[in-house]
Amino acid sequence: MKRQFLITGDGSITIHLPEWNEQYHSKHGAIAEARHVFLEAGLHKCLHTFPDQTINILEIGFGTGLNAFLTLIEAQNTNVEVAYTGVEAYPVVLEEVEKLNYTELVAGATELFRQMHELPWEQPNELAMGFRLIKQRKFFSEINEKEHYHCIYFDAFGPRVQPELWTEEIFVKMFRALVAGGVMVTYSAKGSVRRAMQSVGFKVERLPGPPGKREMLRAAKPS
């Protein structure tokens, strides 16, 4: 599918898919959305629930690596250990990575962004002290881990274009993959998405959304 590059509201670049009229991030700000939805509502919540532990994060849609990059920087700043798994079926290529401007906008770890993309798939790597990354090239439907992750960044393309990814069938896999007390966060606040999460056992909260969105969802696996 054709990929184009678009400058979002906070100056950070995202990828646009003209065939679907869909973006990898919010048009109102890719970095702003990533920080608000995944770091503040997801990672920070887990740091509070699971203090002094390595936080295991699963990302649904590694894409440009923006969420992983911001998480790495946050882990270094807060002195927290993170083991990050990014699942992706259609990786971006290095030529595309070079068109992204995240390292110009976010201080720190400039070299690491490129290294993150150069790392081989399927091999765990200590990318930086306290930050382990494994990129898994596979479909979300192939995720079968049990009670391993503290946090899931659910960052699939929206339910308008990939409704099959926002179903009970996928959410039950996410529920199983989380430890008790773990959370899954996503930018979508659609009613049908919330109900599908609830029907597999999640306790779902509606939280204020990132710029341009009224609400987002945080789904917790009850303790």
**Site residues, ligand SAM (CB under 6 A):** 24, 61, 63-64, 66-67, 87-90, 139-140, 155-157, 162
φ, ψ of residue 76 to 5 degrees: the values are -70, -40
For the bound state, the minimum distance from the C-beta of residue 222 to ligand SAM, rounded and expressed in Å, comes to 26
Three-class SS of residue 130? coil
For the bound state, the minimum distance from the C-beta of residue 89 to ligand SAM, rounded and expressed in Å, comes to 3
For the bound state, the minimum distance from the C-beta of residue 217 to ligand SAM, rounded and expressed in Å, comes to 15
For the bound state, the minimum distance from the C-beta of residue 173 to ligand SAM, rounded and expressed in Å, comes to 12
Torsion of Cα atoms, 57 then 69 then 209 then 85, to 10°? -20
Which residue is nearest to ligand SAM, using beta carbons?
A: 63
Tally Cβ neighbours within 10 Å of residue 17: 15
For residue 7, which of 100, 137, 120, 115 has the smallest C-alpha distance?
A: 100
Paired residues of 55 in beta bridges:
82
Compare residues 159 and 181 and give the one whose CB is closer to ligand SAM: 159
Compare residues 84 and 140 and give the one whose CB is closer to ligand SAM: 140
Let me know how long the chain is: 223
Compare residues 35 and 45 and give the one whose CB is closer to ligand SAM: 35
